């Protein structure tokens, strides 16, 4: 055996099992923009709706469809075209529309999400919006709706509220989406 190679082999072996560096940066997963006959999220939440909620121009940055077990999941996301000069934030508005196998399964999913959030400040039950709904905001960073209608449930969230964002438009469009379901 060539003992001159042992240190090189040992270093190579150790480097294979060295600990990974932790990073504060989340991994970015690219999002596809699928055709609307496959991914219908952007028909429920349109770009003009997004522009009104964000109070500025936006673009569709995600529109996907997935089948997870018995559940169909449609997602879309809009991103503001510019960073807000006042807040320094760039608005993102997302919608997830889920179609469950039946109303009971959708209700169970709704209850699980509501129960995990109901004790947070800013959560309020909304009547006359689907079969069950709640709205949540912290007053400065996000607006959120969770709405169930029959076997369907949608979540809409404006993340990174800016000086242009409109809570009134968010609530108006949230009701429109229920009518479009």
> What confidence tens digit (pLDDT) does each residue in 114-168 have?
999 999 999 999 999 999 999 999 989 999 999 999 999 999 999 999 999 999 9
From the list 41, 37, 86, 38, the residue with the least C-alpha distance to 61 is 41
pTM value is 0.77
> What confidence tens digit (pLDDT) does each residue in 13-59 have?
333 333 333 334 333 445 665 555 555 667 889 899 999 999 999 99
Q: Which two tokens mark 121? A: 């400040």
Please tell me the CATH code under which domain 31-180 is placed.
Answer: 3.40.1000.70
């Amino acid at each position: 055996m060539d003992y001159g190679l042992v240190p090189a082999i040992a270093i190579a072996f150790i480097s294979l099992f060295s600990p990974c560096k932790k990073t504060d940066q989340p991994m970015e997963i690219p999002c596809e923009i699928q055709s609307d006959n496959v991914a219908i999220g952007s028909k429920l939440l349109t770009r003009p709706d997004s522009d009104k909620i964000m109070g500025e121009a936006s673009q569709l940055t995600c529109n996907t469809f997935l089948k997870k077990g018995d559940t169909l999941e449609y997602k879309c996301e809009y991103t503001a075209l510019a960073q807000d000069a006042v807040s320094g934030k760039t608005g993102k508005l997302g919608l997830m529309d889920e179609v469950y196998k039946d109303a009971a399964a959708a209700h169970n999913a709704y209850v699980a999400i509501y129960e995990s959030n109901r004790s947070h400040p800013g959560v309020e039950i909304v009547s006359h919006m689907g079969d069950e709904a709640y709205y949540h905001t912290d007053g400065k960073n996000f607006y959120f709706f969770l709405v169930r209608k029959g076997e369907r449930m949608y979540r809409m969230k404006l993340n990174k509220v800016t000086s242009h964002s409109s809570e009134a438009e968010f609530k108006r469009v949230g009701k429109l989406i229920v009518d479009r379901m």
